[in-house]
Amino acid sequence: MTRAQLFFKAENFQRVGAFKFRGACNAIAQFTPEQRSRGVITFSSGNHAQAIALSARLMETPAVIVMPKDAPAIKLAATRDYGAEIVLYDRYTEDREAIGRKLAEARGLTLIPPYDHPHVMAGQGTAALELIREAGPLDVLVVCVGGGGLISGCATAAKHLLPKCRVIGVEPEAGNDVQRSLREGRIVHIDVPQTIADGAQTQHAGEHTFAVMRALVDDVVTVSDAQLVETMRFFAERMKTVVEPTGCLAAAAVMHGVIPVAAKRVGVIVSGGNIDLQRFSALLFPPA
């Protein structure tokens, strides 16, 4: 299809169904015994919440998760099942970061944000590290971008191991704040983008992630929601695997020719697979 060799890193098969387990685990593993006894808090649109909840349970530390009321049901249920305490908020009117900081201070919890944290970024980078160790040299590495935690870790690993490898980010068309930020040389803030890629509905990059992306990411491109749905269909029908819309960003850019890849060895991070079947089928077979 692409006249390239594609190597997929299937993080939809990762524990909790997305790469976020890597960063959450690494961040909590660095806690002091004092931090571990008080617990961890985070705010998240879903996958990071589950990752923190499971990592906290494995490392026997309490977890509080601030989640949007309209997060996918499967993500709310999974987070609760991992034993975390959930605090709900309205993502269109309330500021999750402010809520998180207030609770953290009141209860002495350590806040681990979804992307803008060095230990989180480093953990996410192990996805690229493993892919390169397994697949060998790559000419291009393609990674989806929300707040930039995954791509900044992956770019750090890739550029260290393969200095000539190009690292390309992919955002949803409606939420291209990082593309604009890199072009303008400052962190651009946008309204909550309307896209089916709920893992990439971030409004701005982080201080840490922006600095790393600016230094190491070669370009950021965008894809449409329709292209994401086509890619979900491809994964289901041809590759027999369920990928959530955000998880399709990198593959969609490659398969729709947004990134030229002919004759190249290309790493594609498939970032996650958490989508309930009802939403999955509604996206593939929209009601007339």
Ligand X SMILES: *Cc1c(COP(=O)(O)O)cnc(C)c1O
Binding residues for ligand X, rule CB under 6 A, total 22
Nearer to ligand X, 12 or 110 (CB): 12
DSSP helix/strand/coil, 218: coil
Is 162 one of the binding residues for ligand X (CB under 6 A)?
no
Least distance to ligand X from the beta carbon of 101, Å? 19
Known catalytic residue: 164? no
Least distance to ligand X from the beta carbon of 102, Å? 23
Annotated catalytic residue, options 9, 37, 44, 45: 45
Residue among 122, 190, 130 nearest 156 (CA): 122
Q: Which of residues 95-134 bind ligand X (CB under 6 A)?
A: 114-115
What does the per-residue mask of binding to ligand X show for 165-204, with x meaning CB under 6 A? ----------------------------------xx-x--
Known catalytic residue: 45? yes
* Choice from 168, 244, 261, 267 touching ligand X (CB under 6 A): 244
Least distance to ligand X from the beta carbon of 170, Å? 10
* Distance, CA of 52 to chain centre: 14
Matching residue, tokens 């840490």:
208
What does the per-residue mask of binding to ligand X show for 7-26, with x meaning CB under 6 A? -----------x-x------
Q: Is residue 67 a contact partner of residue 44, using CB atoms and an 8 Å limit? A: yes
Environment class of 161 (CB within 10 Å of its CB; exposed 0-12, middle 13-18, buried 19+): middle
Cα angle: 67, vertex 76, 114; to 5 degrees: 45
Report the first-to-last Cα separation within the chain, whole angstroms: 30
Distances (CA, A) of 135 to 2, 4, 7, 139: 18, 14, 7, 11
* Choice from 39, 113, 123, 149 touching ligand X (CB under 6 A): 149
Nearer to ligand X, 41 or 49 (CB): 49
Least distance to ligand X from the beta carbon of 241, Å? 14
DSSP 4: S
DSSP 109: P
Least distance to ligand X from the beta carbon of 165, Å? 19
Is 145 one of the binding residues for ligand X (CB under 6 A)?
yes
Nearer to ligand X, 148 or 267 (CB): 148
Half-sphere exposure of 152 (CA within 13 A, CB side): 26
* Distance, CA of 51 to chain centre: 11
Nearer to ligand X, 267 or 272 (CB): 272
Nearer to ligand X, 86 or 164 (CB): 86
**Size (the chain), residues:** 288
Quote helix, strand, coil % in the chain, to nearest 5: 50, 15, 35
DSSP H or E segment with residue 74: helix 73-81
Is 147 one of the binding residues for ligand X (CB under 6 A)?
yes
Q: Which of residues 22-61 bind ligand X (CB under 6 A)?
A: 47-48
Residue among 150, 238, 243, 156 nearest 196 (CA): 243
Q: Which residues are known catalytic residues? A: 20, 45
Residues in contact with ligand X by the rule CB under 6 A: 18, 20, 47-48, 114-115, 144-151, 199-200, 202, 244, 246-247, 271-272
